[in-house]
Amino acid sequence: MQQNSVTEQMTQAGQKIEHDSFAIVDQEVGTHKYSAEEWNIVRRMIHATADFEFNGLTRFHPEAVSAGLKAISQGSHIIADVEMICVGLSKPRLSHFGVTTHHYISDADVITQAKAENTTRAVQAMRKAQRLGLLDNSIVAVGNAPTALLEVVRMIKEEGLRPALIVGMPVGFVSAAESKDETALLQDIPWIITQGRKGGSTLVVAAIHALLALAEQASK
């Protein structure tokens, strides 16, 4: 199989460390029930956190990987709940596919509207993305705010929103697990989630980087 170039570490030393880390994960993980492509995503998530519980906690809609690869190959937008995801994603890797990232949680109008309606900034940020026409056919990336994920699920059910893929991994104690449970009930919209309280922007970044690597390999 041909070596990736765009989605690899930039130095040979960095590549060796990453590949050795993946090999250690493969060696220590034991058994898993993921497909080869799904395992590439889960393995990178474990690599990013040193937490083997994501072998099992990570769940995939049957069409999640294929939907993610299609969205990336078409240069879809990534709409994130927080800036951390946008900062964490590799700009050279994204630009290779023409993928752009967006977040609105700190925008003045989002904050004003959240105060006026007594909702969260995360809810209003997703509503702003929808008003701008960016959510349909996009990759929705949620690593921090359960209310963002719940709002996307609501818009899917009530407003006919059709994102290409949801990477829903909010972390926390209030509504985090519940928001992912709600996402997992979606049948027509592909998703990747982590069950329970565990999650975070680092995991979302790792999952998307894995999808970018798979997309590069698929393009060869």
Active site residue 47: yes
Only one residue has tokens 């070596």, namely 3
Beta bridge partners of 58: 194
Closest C-alpha among 125, 139, 120, 134 to residue 189: 139
Q: Distance between CA 73 and CA 69 in Å, rounded?
A: 6
Read out DSSP for the chain?
A: -PPPSTTS-SSHHHHHHHHHHHHHHHHHS------HHHHHHHHHHHHHHT-TTHHHHEEE-TTHHHHHHHHHHTT-EEEESSHHHHHHS-HHHHHHHT-EEE--TT-HHHHHHHHHHT--HHHHHHHHHHHTT-STTSEEEESS-HHHHHHHHHHHHHH----SEEEE---SSSSHHHHHHHHHT-SSS-EEEE-SS---HHHHHHHHHHHHHHHHHHT-
Active site residue: 19, 32, 47, 209, which one?
47
The residue with tokens 């926390």 is 172
Which residues are designated catalytic?
47
